[in-house]
Structure 1
C-alpha cells in the first residue's frame, strides 16, 4: 500500500478501536470480543470482528469498505438498525459454527465510501 493508505489505515483502526494490519494488499482492522467467553465443541474460541478497505480511489478517496461483525444474538437487532441508519448495506446475517456456545451471529456489511467516514459510522453502530 502507498504510505498515504498506510496512514489512513492507522487512523481507520484507531477510529474503530481495533488492531491494524495488512492482508492481501488491503487494510484490515480486528476487534477482539474478549468479553464473550465462547466455546466451539467445548474448546475456547476467540471471537473477533474484522473491518477492511481496499481499492481506494486517489481522486475521491472512496474505497470498498467491508465488515464481518461477530455478535451475540441479543445484539443483532440494534446493530443492524444502527448500521442501516448509517447508509451501510447489510449483505448477510448468519451463523457460522455448529456447537458454539453462546450462539454467535455474524453480520456482513459493505459500502463504497471514504474509509474514515465508514470507520466512524461503524464505531457509532458498535456503541448502540
Structure 2
C-alpha cells in the first residue's frame, strides 16, 4: 500500500512542489526556476528539461531525478552519499543546451 494522499501533499509542501499523482505512487514535481535554459537556442521551461522529481511508495524514497548544472554535480553527489543515498544514474538529456544540464537519479 502506498502512502496516503495527505502525506504525499505534506511532502510536496516541504519541497515546494506539486503532487502529480498520489496513488498508487506519490509523485511530486518541482521545476528548477533558477536555471534559465535554452535548447537549440530556444528558451525552455519544460518539466522535461528542468525537473526536480521524487516518487515515494510505502515509507521509503524510491526514485528521484533532478537537473543540475555541471558545477552542482560533485557537491550534490557528495551530499547524497553522506546521507546514505545511492545515485543510480547520471547523464545528459539534450544536445545544444545552455547551460550544460546533467540529470541525476
TM-score, with length taken from structure 2 = 0.84
Per the alignment, in what secondary structure is the counterpart of residue 34 of structure 2?
coil
Which of 48, 52, 58 is 1:49 aligned to? 52
CA–CA separation in structure 2 for the residues paired with 1:7 and 1:68:
22
Deviation of 1:16 (Å) = 2.1
The corresponding residue for 1:32 is 31
* Between structures 1 and 2, the one with greater helix share: 1
The corresponding residue for 2:81 is 84
Q: CA RMSD in A?
A: 2.0
Q: Which runs of 4+ in 1 moved over 6 A?
A: none
TM-score, with length taken from structure 1 = 0.70
1:40-76 per-residue CA deviation (whole Å, 9 max, x = no partner) reads 111222212111112x1xxxxx335210010100011
How many residue pairs get aligned? The number is 101
The corresponding residue for 1:67 is 64
**Closer, same or farther in 2 for the Cα pair 1:95/1:23, shift >3 Å?**
farther
Deviation of 1:17 (Å) = 2.3
Unmatched runs of 5 consecutive residues or more in structure 1 = 57-61, 109-128
Unmatched runs of 5 consecutive residues or more in structure 2 = none
CA–CA separation in structure 1 for the residues paired with 2:94 and 2:60:
30
